[in-house]
Chains A and B, each alone.
Chain A
Amino acid sequence: QVQLVQSGAEVKKPGASVKVSCKASGFTFTGYYMHWVRQAPGQGLEWMGWINPTSGVTNYAQKFQGRVTMTRDTSISTAYMELSRLRSDDTAVYYCARDLIAAAVYWYFDLWGRGTLVTVSS
């Protein structure tokens, strides 16, 4: 079954870090770029960045530069997104999403995880 399974909800204090995982199954993990997208409560979608699972090369939205790190473990077909120095406005559902076109990055997200709610509260 082709799917992305994300880790469970997290509650963090301001200033802490959070690491969300996204396990791929049913397709070749290294064949597709993986993106991370977040959505604050009642707000729109926000693209955070992508990782090339084959090479580990990443590209981040300017807004998150210096605070976000995307990594992967090809042995277990899992991508990770770590966000540091959390603030209350980082409270959001974080999604991983696969790019449609194999071995290319087009921002066409054809497969999504169910999302991970990260709550930042003191």
Chain B
Amino acid sequence: QSALTQPRSVSGSPGQSVTISCTGSSSDVGGYNYVSWYQQHPGKAPKLMIYDVNKRPSGVPDRFSGSKSGNTASLTISGLQAEDEADYYCCSYAGTYKGVFGTGTKVTVL
């Protein structure tokens, strides 16, 4: 199972919006609505930000939103803030009770 493809980095100024893509195939992202997104700050464990493609766990700001079209899922951060600077990973069910992560994207707040 190959890792899902994410851009290596994206950047934006405070207050702007950024979107991170996560491209897979019909065997994973495109075949199921079991997509989640994680935020990871340096030296810390990842944090669940989005699940079920577009649902936010309690406590996650509504600036974070998720969507999916075909084989590509997306995470959008609206109203970018300094604390949003981190690495972000997507994750998808990939069939036969296995999962796969994306390659990861570094978000920089300019």
Which residues of A are in contact with B by a Cβ distance under 8 Å?
35, 37, 44-47, 50, 59, 61-63, 95, 97, 100, 105-110, 112-115
Bound Cα distance A108, B92 (Å): 9
Q: A108-B48, A112-B45 are in contact. Are A61 and B1 (CB under 8 A)?
A: yes
A45 touches B1 (CB 8 A): no
Bound Cα distance A109, B101 (Å): 12
Report A-chain residues with C-beta under 8 Å of the C-beta of B34: 106-108
* Nearest-Cβ distance from residue B5 to partner chain A, whole angstroms: 11
A-B contact pairs, 7 of them (CB 8 A): A45-B38, A59-B96, A62-B1, A63-B1, A100-B48, A109-B46, A112-B45
A106 touches B93 (CB 8 A): yes
User: What number of residue pairs across chains A and B have CB atoms under 8 A from each other?
Assistant: 68
Which residues of B are in contact with A by a Cβ distance under 8 Å?
1, 3, 34, 36, 38, 40, 45-48, 51-52, 57, 89, 91-93, 96-104
A109 touches B89 (CB 8 A): no
Q: Which residue of A lies closest to B50 (CB)?
A: A108
Given A46-B101, A109-B48, 6 further pairs, Cβ under 8 A: A44-B3, A47-B101, A106-B93, A107-B91, A107-B93, A108-B34
Bound Cα distance A64, B9 (Å): 29
A110 touches B48 (CB 8 A): yes
Bound Cα distance A86, B48 (Å): 30
Which of A35, A46, A108, A115 meets B51, CB within 8 Å?
A108
* Nearest-Cβ distance from residue A97 to partner chain B, whole angstroms: 8
A110 touches B57 (CB 8 A): yes
Bound Cα distance A62, B98 (Å): 9
